[in-house]
Structure formats: structure tokens, C-alpha cells
Amino acid sequence: MLEDKNQSRTSLSELGEFKLIDHLTKQTVIHHHQTIKGIGDDCAVIGRGEVQTLVTTDLLVEGVHFDLSYMPLKHLGYKAVVVNLSDVYAMNGDAKQITVSIAVSNRFPLEALEELYAGIHLACKAYQVDLVGGDTTSSTKGLLISITALGEVKKEKCVYRNGAKSKDLLVVTGDLGAAYLGLQVLEREKQVFQVNPNAEHELENYTYLVERQLKPEARKDIIQLLADLEVQPTSMIDISDGLSSEILHLCKQSNTGCQLFEDKIPLDQQVISTCEEFNIDSTTIALSGGEDYELLFTVKQEDFPKIKANPNFSIIGYMTDEANVAELVTRGGQKVAIVAQGWNAMK
């Protein structure tokens, strides 16, 4: 009746999140032809007619994904919604509905949940998304938020991770690394506060970084912009685990390689100055930082004129036909293999 203590044990940390999901879902059988895409992209895709339904879900756990000592609950609610919507936009779709489930321990008063939901409602308003359901339960420890987002995309507009072709241009929106540095700044402040609760906060030089960490936005605007420019990406993914990890996903699923140019990676001035202050390499931060929620996509070379002058886009490399050979071309001209050191929630 009780657990067999002598069973063989393989530690989850030996696998990491992606291998674990692959392992647990390898038996998956698809019964319905309407299930166009299951596991393995930013969203599942379900369709009957011209308009397909997109589904994505994320689980955020206190002490793993967020720290309430510097994450205000209203921001947490906002961010929890945004990270899901980002996956819908990464399919070139529009988010329409969400469900929100929370498990919460009795240490939280009603007022705390009101703050959380204020952020959820704010994100719903900002992104024009309907909160349509959920579940609320008690937890034995801490706060946990599970959100599922539903979206729509026209069949011919849907962009998967697996459509990149050799010579396609690799494009990223916005700039990278700020959210991760924002987290480092907040962690440092927390440590200062623990030593001296009366210390002055020194966040004025890091406002952009902190905002990117505490109140990220999903790039709904880019989906509209791509439509206006009449650019149909050949592949797309959102940057949640760091540029390296996402590039490798595109390469693996598209069966291509990639050449990424270090000097083309977009960095905000605050990222550059803070990396100098912290004595860390800004390229490493951009490659491995994560939580940027920018979009990474590939376009055909013929779309170059539509993309090149737009301040929202940086062309950072191109795809090659050498399957899974993803390389960073450094400022010095050296080629270095890109490895996934992205943030891993199974650590």
C-alpha cells in the first residue's frame, strides 16, 4: 500500500526539463486529426476550419519561478499572464482567453489575492484577453499559479518552430539580457536588505532592468507589425529560456544550422553598463539570461528589405544547411558552438 522504497531511482535533475518532457510524453498517441500540433512547439494547434485554436500552459511556483520578497503580487499576476500570451504570439496568433488556477497557502490573506488578480485583470485589459475559468485551492506551501492561454490563428498564418530553411535570416525583436540582469539586481538588493533593513534602495540606475524583470510585456505589437509589413516568418519561438536555447530549438526542429553574429545581438545601454559594473560578459547574459519574452524568428532573404530598417528588429544571423551546427561568430571572428545554458526550472 505504501511506496516501495526499494524501487530504482533516477533523479529528475539528471535529465533536465526538456529531456524529462520528451521522456514522459514519448508514448503519446494522437487520436484526433483536428490535433494538428501536440507537444513540441510554443502552443498546441487544434483546427477544423480556416481558423485554428492555439493552446499553451505555464506553471509558476513560489520559490522556483518567483520570490515574493521583491515581486509585488500585482506584478506577478501581470507577468504570469504575459508569459503565456507570449507563447501564443510566438505562433503568429492572437491570444483570446485564459484560465487561471491558483493554489495558495493560508499564509496569504484575501487582500494578497486581490492584488494578484488586479495584475491578472490589468494584463487581460492590456492584451484584450478574456479570463474564462480556473480553479482555486489551498496549498500546503506557498503560492502556485497555473495559466492556460487560448488563441487563434488563420491556418496559413500559423508559424511553427520547424519551418526555417537554409539561408533564412535570423531576426530578434527588442533587446536581450535585461530581465536576467534585473533579477540579479533585485537579488543583490534583497541581500543588502537582509543585512541592513534600513539601507537605501539603489535601483535608479537599473530601472529598465528591473522593469523587464518585474513587468515584462509580450510582443503582441510585433504580430500586428509583421502582418502590416506582409512578412510571414518561416519559423518562430519566444525567448523565455535565453537566446541560445531558443536558437537550438529552431535548429533542431527545422533540421538546420545557424550562424549567429555576436556584434549583432541587441543590447540596451543599461545592460552594457551593468555588465561592466558586475564584471560579466554581456553576450553570455544575452545568450543565457532568459525571461526576455522577445520573439526570435526566421524570414526568407527576400523579406530583408521589409525588415532591415525597422527599429523593432535586429537581424542577428542566418540559418545554414548544416543540421544542428549552431555557432556564434564572435567579434574577433572566431566560431564558437552555441550551447544551451538557459534557465532551467528543473534545476
Q: What angle do CA 223, 296, 38 make, to 5 degrees?
A: 80
Site for a second copy in 138-157 (CB under 8 A): 138-142, 144, 146, 148, 150
193 in contact with a second copy (CB under 8 A): yes
Among 6, 52, 66, 68, binds a second copy (CB under 8 A): 68
Q: How far apart are CA 77 and CA 100, in angstroms?
A: 10
Q: Which stretch binds a second copy (CB under 8 A): 132-140, 254-262, 270-278, 281-289?
A: 132-140
User: Any idea what DSSP says for residue 201?
Assistant: P
8 in contact with a second copy (CB under 8 A): yes
166 in contact with a second copy (CB under 8 A): no
* Sequence-ordered alpha helix ranges (H) in 215-293: 220-229, 243-254, 269-278, 282-288
Q: Which stretch binds a second copy (CB under 8 A): 103-111, 157-165, 229-237, 244-252?
A: 103-111
114 in contact with a second copy (CB under 8 A): yes
H/E stretch holding 37:
strand 35-37
Q: Does 58 show up as a binding residue in the annotation?
A: yes
Least CB distance from residue 13 to a second copy, whole Å? Answer: 7
Among 64, 227, 323, 339, binds a second copy (CB under 8 A): 64
20 in contact with a second copy (CB under 8 A): yes
C-beta closer to a second copy: residue 31 or 331: 31
Least CB distance from residue 305 to a second copy, whole Å? Answer: 35
Q: Does 31 show up as a binding residue in the annotation?
A: no
C-beta closer to a second copy: residue 189 or 217: 189
CA proximity to 75, closest of 220, 221, 216: 216
φ/ψ of 331, rounded to 5, equals -55, -30
Q: How far apart are CA 56 and CA 293, in angstroms?
A: 15
Is residue 163 classed as helix, strand or coil in its secondary structure?
Answer: coil
Pairing verdict, β 130-138 and 94-104: parallel
Is residue 297 within 8 Å of 171, Cβ to Cβ? yes
Annotated binding site for substrate: 65, 291, 343
